Amino acid sequence: MKRLTEFDQLADPTFSGAVIDWQRQHGRHALPWQNTTDAYRIWLSEIMLQQTQVAAVLEYYARFLARFPTLQALAEAQSEDVMALWSGLGYYTRARNLHACAKRVVAEYGGTFPSEPALLAGLPGIGRSTAAAISAFSSGTRAAILDGNVKRVFARVFGIEQYPGIKPVEDALWRRAEALLPATGIERYTQGLMDLGATLCTRARPDCARCPLRERCIAFATGRTAELPVRKPKKTTPEKRAAMLVIVDGGQVLLEQRADSGIWGGLLSLPEVDGHAAHDAPAPDALAAAGRFGMVEEMQALLPLVHVFTHYKLHIAPHKVALERRGAAVAGHVWWELAQIDKAPLPAPVKKLLLQLAAPNLFG
């Protein structure tokens, strides 16, 4: 008797059939990046949707295409223009990789995305799952995806008892994902898995009553949808502090160009003060730092801000500074019109702060 391989044991055409049939009747069909085989538009949506909800992406996606309708246009753009359009969407490494990827595709592939998932995965910002999705939707390639939504669906349906982020568990999920691929209909199957995770098999309060996989779902049968997938072991969230200077003069605010790497890389931001400035009063180190940019007329501590990143929490102590006389230009800093601050490539919390402070009469 022939011995069944792991692939044979995991394969189940009825699984993909159920997903495909459900997607055809109940899935999402009108998103702006659907109903196209244009790899540029598909790639753009996949990058924007990484760790970001569809509702948040829609407006950014439309603005990007209006400004950069082709891959060539994006590749030729200035970095600050790309970052400005991305401002507020978060995870800014995606924007830097997006720009770098466009340049690579133009330089190495003549402006046309390769169809092979392995080649796509070698480009900046495109991992294995994203490469498979781009290739499946643009070229019909039979390739498996395994993003966060799919991991959640698999963990519940197949009763995965370990945290999916552990490498041996993730490797096993990849093998299952490949074994479950349908012989035909890869585009609808791939979209169906995404739709299930986004609309029914959600992290909180999954809609099991409408799920096409309910009858085979171990989590549903055992009443464990709230427990699966197993959560990542909790770690204490590190907390960091930064004092920032809001230096204003003549209707302009001073902004600092951040390095390309790191948090908020490539964006403009407010000058930061070395050390930990107090929230309730101008600290000597803040006053000394402001003096680099001119003669300080007045300094005022503003209400502190808290911004939560994926890996830590940042406490921002902003200090409003009015100059009596502007000093010599300092490398890496630019003066920006407050009236145009909404167009600056700023991190979301900094832009929110400056938009509030740019209200009439606040700066005199």
Give the number of C-alpha atoms closer than 13 A to the C-alpha of residue 48, restricted to the C-beta side. Answer: 27
For the chain, what is the radius of gyration of the CA atoms? 25
Tokens 């401002």 map to which residue?
87
Distances (CA, A) of 171 to 35, 49, 164, 193: 31, 23, 9, 18
C-beta of residue 191 within 8 angstroms of C-beta of residue 28: yes
Give the number of C-alpha atoms closer than 13 A to the C-alpha of residue 194, restricted to the C-beta side. Answer: 25
Token pair for 142: 């039979």
Q: What angle do CA 8, 22, 5 make, to 5 degrees?
A: 5
Phi/psi for 69 (5° steps) reads -70, -15
Q: What angle do CA 81, 85, 89 make, to 5 degrees?
A: 140
> Which of 90, 63, 79 lies closest to 351, judged by CA?
90
Q: Tell me which DSSP letter residue 24 carries.
A: H
CB neighbours of 198 closer than 8 A, spacing ≥ 6? 28, 54, 149
Q: Which of 46, 59, 76, 80 is catalytic?
A: 46
Active site residue 46: yes
Q: Looking at the annotation, which residues are catalytic?
A: 46
